[in-house]
Structure 1
Amino acid sequence: MPASAFAFFVVILGSNAPTPLLPGYRAELGMSPLNVAFAFSAYFVGLVAVLALLARTRLTRFARMLLPFAVGLGASADLMFLAIDDDPTLLYVGRVVTGAAVALATGPAAALMLVGGGERGRAMIASVSILGGCLGLILSVCVVAWAPMPGRTIYYVHLGLCLAASAALMVALVRRRSALRLALRVPQTDVDSGPRRRWSTTVTAYAGGASGWIAGALAVGTLPVALVEAARVESLSVAALSGIVCLVAAAVTQLTLNSRGVVVPLWIGLSILTAGAIVVAAGIAYGNLWVVLAGCLLSGLGQAPSFATGLRVLSRGLGAVAQGRTASAYSCVCYSVAGVFALGAGATASFWGIRNGTIAIVGFYGLSCGVLAMLAAADMRIGQRVSAVQARLASAANPLNPNTVQLVFRRGSMRCAS
């Protein structure tokens, strides 16, 4: 479990490596806000395509081969970024390859972590995703701020981490090859399907996870450019604080909830995301950096439970292969919606201006989260009522129920008396 978690962490780390450099790429390569949004969202193209493939097939049973290959694919993206000169084409291609690497690692890593850690590893894929995105952004910002040749150093650092992760993963896979071969067999139908859910529960779980990931996408890919333009922030590292604050809050929240075994209801996470969006929109409107960062903090606090709780709901009771397929399908939906929102933010900023466009897209996002929070709360109440009715029916049908035993005893006594 630690080796597969570390490998997935390193792949996720690379997804945010070029993010603080995007405003710099915009100036050096003459990119428009829409081009910057496309460079950020190109990551979702490779991500969604490969996740859809893994979700529709049972390729996750080859997790022992797919996860090391994904690490190598992430390293190849670093080589593409290092080769960028005056043409942004390699930036777009590298982002697509990075997305494919993350997608290829998601299902296999989820399966291997479940095999290695049991139920403790079921939701760990969400924790590692949030933590990897958080630390990747922090590492990249630190390199951009203080390291020489920041446009190259961050990729050299990630290449070294890929080599270390590959070595640790291969050692672990070789040592546990017999147990993994047995655990990654295609499960029986009843294990593969898991418990039945209401369609409303499934929809709100997917919507909650997507809303959580949109918060990170907006904070990392959209708000830094808006802060440079609307809040007159001159430093790229300061502009990247929006993403850092959001992802750090999400990572700390997720690790705290996991360590204490607490599962936050979905409607609470969505309500916090609504509040965060309102504060961010107000901060952009007034051009105040600190108000925007406060909104990003709230968004991070809501992102973690929204994303993790949705995955728990959808993967409850599944085996290793089905866990990998479900994690791939879940991530596919969440990343797809996040990519659409990021592109929508870039398009809106190009037509309405960066300040007004960002306010519009963040306001629409906050409204959507508010509506989803009410739907999730209603679905939870329906679920509680259904569970209560089922418990009463099961209790009435139980022959060991005290009321049933007393009724049978009375009938027997009346028969004996007659």
Structure 2
Amino acid sequence: MRNGHPRSPRDAAGVRAFVSAVCAFAVVMLGTTLPTPLYAIYSGELGFGVTTTTVIFAIYAAGVIAALIIFGRWSDVVGRRPLLVAGALFSVASAIVFITAGPVWQLMIGRVLSGLSAGIYAGAATAAVIELAPPGWRQRAPAIATAANIGGLGLGPLIAGLLAQFAPAPLHLPFAIDLVLLVPVLVGIWLITEPVEVKPGARLSVQRLSVPPEVRGVFLRASIAAFAGFAVMGTFTGVTPSFISHILGIDSHAVAGAVVAVLFLSSAVTQIAGRGYPTERALVAGCAILVAGTLVLIVGLLASSLAALITGAVVCGIGQGLSFSKGLAAVVAASPADRRAEVTSTYFVVAYVAISIPIVGEGIAASHWGLRTSGVVFNVAVAVLALLALVLTMVAVARSRRTDDAPST
């Protein structure tokens, strides 16, 4: 019923399309983090160490970056639905590769395919969720898209960890279930009404990456914060299961998956809860919280404390959620309308570079210094980056206030 009248078939179809887009977003992103708590099993069976684990994880980010650049503008040209279908098919291919995975190179192919699916969905699915939202949900649609995105990322390691701990075939069952979930996702997005008016003769092109001069100050502050937050997220996801197993001596895939999930879910809840906070103030708070979170993680590493690691995951998730979402809001607000897509894509590329390069560096450092020392050094570096973003943002806010308070002549 709507305003006392029965809901029309058109309204019902619109709701179904919206739900289909949200579910597709969550399931595809869930698939990208399923392998996280399983790397310890893979490393034992295939005989590789932390360095290889981090390289496998970083290859995912390379796939995301490639998709952002190559496919970033395609959904505006050919429509959202074809890109959503393509991203889901990449996710299907990734799951099949992992189910049949043997040598390390096969895991790397699976991660590239997973990265391509995530990169396509980062843009196309976010836009589709917002565009397909029923009128009464339009204001909440961006928050729902965030929940589907980051929430899916958080559910992946949680589900895989629980299955690996308590169910048979830990390297196959999670991906088999992922394939089962992807079937209704593909059916649902195939049936949605295309929300974009496709113009005949429009040409496909690669997404340009650049930042206009007038945006560079805001972009610098926001991207440093995003880099720090995603570096924590990437390294925490790639290395924490090994640390829990090898340093803490907790041989539980469920615990490893749950600890990683805490970081993602804290970020998702924070981004949703903080959407109404003033941008600059929230960005300052996010950077400060991220600094505090990395310090808690350092304590957890030095003291070999699971409680401190979980606390650090919660605090870092809050800091990352605020700093990334509000940094993105600041960049979007400062960008000219006709260049907003390329600036936003550049911001996302910076964030995903932070997942790839630092984690490989930590993996190499861990092979020489050990997991504990490399983790401490890495978190100190991230804290310095977050502190730099905090100082730059506070200086910018102070300058803005002085300008606003200055008497007009």
**TM-score, normalized by length of structure 2?**
0.84
CA contact (8 A) 1:284 1:359 kept: yes
Q: Alignment partner for residue 351 of structure 2, among 310, 330, 334?
A: 334
| Contact 1:48 1:335 (8 Å CA) reproduced | yes
Q: 1:95 aligns with which of 100, 111, 116?
A: 111
**Counterparts of 2:131 and 2:216, CA distance in 1:** 28
Report if the CA contact (8 A) 1:126-1:307 is conserved: no
1:276-355 superposed matches below 5 A: 276-316=293-333, 325-355=342-372
Q: Could you tell me which amino acid in structure 2 is paired with residue 91 of structure 1?
A: L
> Which residue is 2:176 aligned to?
156
Larger Rg: 1
Deviates more, 1:72-81 or 1:59-68: 59-68
The amino acid that maps onto 2:55 is F
Q: Tell me the CA shift for residue 305 of structure 1.
A: 0.8
Match among 86, 97, 107 for residue 69 of structure 1: 86
Q: 1:138 to 1:241 in 2, by over 3 A?
A: closer
Aligned residue for 1:368?
385
Output aligned runs, 1:190-201, within 5 Å.
197-201=214-218
The partner residue of 1:143 within 163, 172, 184 is 163
Q: Does residue 1:18 correspond to 2:35, yes or no?
A: yes
Q: CA deviation at 1:114?
A: 3.6
Query: Who is 1:377 aligned against?
Result: 394
**Match status 1:166 vs 2:183:** no
SS at match of 2:274: helix
Partner of 1:134: 154
CA–CA distance in 2 between the matches of 1:113 and 1:385?
Answer: 40
SS at match of 2:268: helix
Asked whether the 8 Å contact 2:50–2:366 carries over to 1, the reply is yes
Question: Relative to structure 1, is the Cα distance of residues 290 and 25 closer, same or farther in structure 2, using a 3 angstrom cutoff?
Answer: same
Deviation (angstroms), 1:61: 2.8
Query: 1: distance between equivalents of 2:165 and 2:278?
Result: 37
Contact 2:37 2:160 in 1 (8 A): yes
- In structure 2, the CA distance between the partners of 1:60 and 1:323, relative to structure 1 (3 Å rule), is farther
Residue deviations 1:38-95 (CA, integer Å, cap 9, x gap): 111110111112212345x56533233111111111111000001113x111101100
| Counterpart-to-counterpart distance in 1, 2:237 and 2:283 | 23
CA 1:121–1:320 in structure 2 vs 1: closer, same or farther (change >3 Å)? Answer: farther
**Alpha-carbon offset, residue 277 of structure 1:** 0.7
**1:4 corresponding residue in structure 2:** 21
What is the SS of the residue equivalent to 1:150? Answer: coil
Instruction: Provide closer, same or farther for how the CA distance between residues 116 and 208 of structure 1 changes in structure 2, counting only shifts above 3 A.
Output: farther
Cα distance in structure 2, aligned partners of 1:3 and 1:316 = 29
1:151 is paired with a residue whose SS is coil
* Structure-1 separation of matches of 2:53 and 2:177: 24
- After superposition, the Cα gap between the structure-2 partners of 1:75 and 1:143, relative to the gap in structure 1 and judged at 3 Å, is same
How far is 1:370 from its partner?
A: 1.4
Q: Tell me what 1:47 maps to.
A: 64
Mean Cα deviation higher: 196-205 or 115-124: 115-124
Structure 1 contact 111–324 (Cα < 8 Å) conserved: no
Amino acid at match of 1:109: A
The 1:91/1:196 distance shift into structure 2, 3 A limit, reads: same
Q: Counterpart amino acid of 1:333?
A: V
Is 1:217 the counterpart of 2:234? The answer is yes
Structure 2: distance between partners of 1:314 and 1:114: 19
Please tell me the residue identity of whatever aligns with 2:39: L
How far residue 208 of structure 1 moved from its aligned partner, in angstroms, is 2.0
Deviations 1:74-119 (A, max 9, x none): 111000001113x111101100110011112222123323423456
Q: Report the alpha carbon displacement of residue 7 of structure 1 after superposing the two structures with TM.
A: 1.7
Structure 2 partner of 1:116:
132
Given residue 362 of structure 1, which amino acid in structure 2 is its aligned partner? N
Deviates more, 1:373-382 or 1:301-310: 373-382
Give identity over the alignment, percent. Answer: 23
**TM-score, normalised via structure 1 length:** 0.82
User: Would the alpha carbon gap of residues 369 and 75 (structure 1) be closer, same or farther in structure 2, given more than 3 Å must change?
Assistant: same
Give 3-state SS (helix, strand or coil) of 2:101's partner. coil
Q: Provide Cα deviations, 1:100-149, integer angstroms capped at 9, x if missing partner.
A: 11112222123323423456445655443321111122122222122221
Supply the distance in 1 between the matched residues of 2:343 and 2:391 (Cα, whole angstroms).
Answer: 25
Q: Displacement, 1:329?
A: 3.0
Aligned amino acid, residue 111 of structure 1? A
AA partner of residue 116 (structure 1)? L
Residue 269 of structure 1: which of 270, 275, 286 is its match? 286
Question: Given residue 99 of structure 2, which amino acid in structure 1 is its aligned partner?
Answer: L
Residue in 2 aligned with 1:237?
Answer: 254
Out of 365-374 and 114-123, give the one that drifted further. 114-123
CA RMSD, aligned part only?
Answer: 2.9
The count of aligned residue pairs is 379
Distance in 2, matches of 1:26 and 1:296, equals 24
Instruction: Give the partner amino acid of 1:278.
Output: L
8 Å contact 1:19–1:220 — kept in the other structure?
yes
Q: What whole-Å deviation, never above 9, does each CA across 1:173-193 have from its counterpart, x for those lacking one?
A: 3xxx3x52179999xxxxxx9
- Return the alpha-carbon distance in structure 2 between the equivalents of residues 336 and 71 of structure 1: 23
Q: Secondary structure at the match of 1:240?
A: helix
> For residue 96 of structure 1, what is the amino acid of its counterpart?
V
The answer to whether the aligner puts 1:105 opposite 2:125 as a matched pair is: no
